Amino acid sequence: MNALIKSATIVDSKSDFHNETVDILIEKGRITKISKRIPNPKNYREIKLDNLHVSQGWFDSSVSFGEPGYEEREIISNGLKTAANSGFTSVALNANSNPVIDSYADITFVKSKANDNAVNLYPIGALTQGSKGEDLAELFDMTNAGAVAFYDYQNPISNPNLMKIALQYASNFNGLVCSFPQESKISGNGVANEHINSTKLGLKGNPALAEELQVARDLFLLEYTEGKLHIPTISTAKSVELIKAAKAKKLNVSCSVAIHNLILTDDSLDGFDTRYKVLPPLRTQTDCNALIEGLKDGTIDMVTTDHNPIDIEDKKIEFDYAKYGTIGLESAFGALQTLFTTKKSIALLTQGKSRFGVSESTINEGEQADLSLFNPDINYEFNKSHITSRSKNSAFLGQTLKGKTYGIVANNKIVLK
């Protein structure tokens, strides 16, 4: 693939051309020249877009695509197309398919579905067999097949001894263990944040305590085992405090927050719209503020879309019975920019790579082209026309967002909307 990107502003603090507006020549998938003006005598494809900005390719540490087994929600090929259109060059795929991805063969299968794609797919293997929380899955075998982490997606590990053993075992090969932060006996059948709104609306509450007890337990286990832990999608102010203290003790822990938990609160539930039924639940503005501060001071390592397509039959029903989840790839950049500067938003979308073993390419001559293309300055109302996903269950429909994506240049390919 050969291309000439014209008049692009580079947003990459590791680039020699950070904040400069330049042309970028790409030959056979590699950046061969960056300069103020580059001629095109070989008539390469030119990419000229309004207010074009480019950055290192973005990474999402938690996406779900359904396939195999839930193809009505999403298939891998369209999920990767959605990621590309949304500016992501790499995604980590959760194991919550049917069957659950818990073996060498399963990892090999989902990787094969992403062959020859512009977007890199990094499979996350289930931590336990069938994600049932009873027996460890084939962690080492899945590592050899290409798994980058182990996670029973949104299924808490209730047995602390099992989590202890997982951390100890995975440490033998530097495996990353993920633990969903929820104590199920405390959360019970709660479907919304236990607070004023859940009481007012008559919805069963899932208290912040359920998350914080699990986080505290896992941090104690991490300290004991000296393992490697990632806590996905935290949602409470106290969780931020607990992880900050653990990092001060030099524990090998990272965490993420879902973008919708940064912006939306349980005030959104007044209309019982199931697009806002997510796990962990939307919390209070106090929690949102603490999560934002946690990102600013580095306590929280990365953001995720926690992209989870759910078909209409499982969303257009009573709130109590609807499935948890929202799609988030398409709205990620525009939503983040309502809170942060463009530079900070890009940092949040790229800085989780090293934790999940994803390679990084700076925007410099000689590097592989792994680029996200976007316009950071457009304000618009997010609607279904902006959605590439098969499922349309976005919590951001009707929200005013800032910044649109054009696509990506990655893996020797160009994908533009």
Active site residues: 306
Q: Taking the chain, what is the end-to-end CA distance rounded to the nearest angstrom?
A: 18
Q: Is 171 exposed, middle or buried (0-12, 13-18, 19+ CB in 10 A)?
A: middle
Count CB neighbours of 297 within 10 A: 10
